Amino acid sequence: MNDLDQLVAQATADFAAAHTPAALEDAKARLLGKAGRVTELLKGLAGATPDEKKTRGAAINQAKQRIEAALTARRQALADAELEAQLKAEALDVTLPGRQRGNGGLHPVSLTIERIESIFASMGFDVAEGPEIETDWMSFTALNNPENHPARSMQDTFYVDLQDEGGRWYNLRPHTSPMQLRYARAHSAKYAAQIARGEPIPEIRVIAPGRTYRIDSDATHTPMFHQCEGVWMGENVSFKDLKVVFTDFCRRFFETDALTLRFRPSFFPFTEPSAEIDIAFAEGPLKGKWLEVAGSGQVHPNVVRNYGLDPERHIGFAFGMGPDRLAMLRYGVNDLRLFFENDLRFLQQFR
């Protein structure tokens, strides 16, 4: 091996021993820099004969090219290694199982309300929602429940410490009955125009489910509970229609014809006559027991006036039922409070 071959071998070994770009550039400077070994060799030709310059010069240049090629290869190898290391460090293990989230499910009361909505929707009822903070007028006065009237104490109401510019007091609505007024009043101008054009008396057919509040707490009462209001008004919608609609609803809700309804005379200020609706199953664990599921009646003329309608023309019934009670009966739950304690072990059973 001549001296130039040796130099190339040495350079290649030096480059291989350089494990960082900086070390590699140092090694390069020692060979190809201003005072580097190759540069020195070329300078050494200064005193040589023209023939020597030609052969020796060509050999040195060839060696220089081989060293430069080795340098380029090593530079590339170092860059590749660095990229590889970076990729490795940043790699994601896509085979690692993700964090599991349990499947959600609807609350049993939500499932019950959806069920009520779909049955009434199939009978042509609209579904409406309204505010849980109500005026005294909507909750009581307009429902024929005058101030200081003893019937107000049927509901132990939560009052809100809030009075607006009109001097109106607010409460957490003790029932969904204000929705009768809100729905009818929202449409009364349209109805009046229809009647003025000589069209038939427009029907109101709506249910309004939602949260309601009373100062009550025991196995069958919670301070927050649900109600679903229903109204069907028209030219002459009677108590008979109420019986048909509610019986059909109960049979479809409980998926059985083996149940009987009883309309038990009662009092509500906003209906006349009024009835509580009780049901009894002909079979199953609750067989033969009368269970109260709703209040109902023919809407009182004073209330129809507050709808913004003429009680001589708009006649019909209303009812208010308890979806929580219906959920208890359907699922066989004996304590209402279980629904609202948010214990997943209980709620997961209804998914």
Site for ligand DAH in 135-194 (CB under 6 A): 175, 177
Does residue 263 interact with ligand DAH by CB under 6 A? no
Q: How far is the CB of 103 from ligand DAH (least distance, A)?
A: 35
Only segment of 23-31, 75-83, 241-249, 295-303 that touches ligand DAH (CB under 6 A): 295-303
Does residue 14 interact with ligand DAH by CB under 6 A? no
Q: Which of 194, 51, 207, 75 is nearest to 128 (CA)?
A: 207
For residues 341 and 325, give the distance between their C-alpha atoms in angstroms, rounded to a whole number: 16
Task: Among 120, 268, 307, 339, indicate the residue that binds ligand DAH (CB under 6 A).
Answer: 268
The smaller minimum CB distance to ligand DAH, of residues 108 and 174, is found at 174
Does residue 320 interact with ligand DAH by CB under 6 A? yes
Only segment of 15-23, 197-205, 248-256, 317-325 that touches ligand DAH (CB under 6 A): 317-325
Only segment of 25-33, 77-85, 201-209, 291-299 that touches ligand DAH (CB under 6 A): 291-299
The smaller minimum CB distance to ligand DAH, of residues 108 and 269, is found at 269
Does residue 300 interact with ligand DAH by CB under 6 A? no
Only segment of 93-101, 280-288, 313-321, 327-335 that touches ligand DAH (CB under 6 A): 313-321
Site for ligand DAH in 55-94 (CB under 6 A): none
The 3 state secondary structure assigned to the chain is CCHHHHHHHHHHHHHHHCCCHHHHHHHHHHHHCCCCHHHHHHHHHHHCCHHHHHHHHHHHHHHHHHHHHHHHHHHHHHHHHHHHHHHHHCCCCCCCCCCCCCCCCCCHHHHHHHHHHHHHHHCCCEECCCCCEEEHHHHCHHHCCCCCCHHHHHCCCEEEEEECCCCCEEEECCCCCHHHHHHHHHHHHHHHHHHHCCCCCCCEEEEEEEEEECCCCECCECCEEEEEEEEEEECCCCHHHHHHHHHHHHHHHHCCCCEEEEEEEEEECCEEEEEEEEEEECCCCCCCCCEEEEEEEEECHHHHHHCCCCCCCCEEEEEEECHHHHHHHHHCCCCHHHHHCCCHHHHHHHC
The smaller minimum CB distance to ligand DAH, of residues 28 and 222, is found at 222
Q: How many CB atoms lie within 10 A of CB 136?
A: 18
The smaller minimum CB distance to ligand DAH, of residues 292 and 310, is found at 292
Does residue 226 interact with ligand DAH by CB under 6 A? no
Only segment of 55-63, 77-85, 183-191, 318-326 that touches ligand DAH (CB under 6 A): 318-326
Contact mark string toward ligand DAH, 206..225, x via CB under 6 A:
--------------------
Q: How far is the CB of 115 from ligand DAH (least distance, A)?
A: 20
Number of residues that bind ligand DAH (CB under 6 A): 11
Task: Among 277, 318, 329, 336, indicate the residue that binds ligand DAH (CB under 6 A).
Answer: 318
Judge whether 163 and 169 are in contact, CB under 8 Å: yes
Q: Which of 16, 18, 67 is nearest to 41 (CA)?
A: 67
Does residue 269 interact with ligand DAH by CB under 6 A? no
Does residue 306 interact with ligand DAH by CB under 6 A? no
Report the interface residues with ligand DAH, using CB under 6 A.
175, 177, 229, 268, 271, 295-297, 318-320
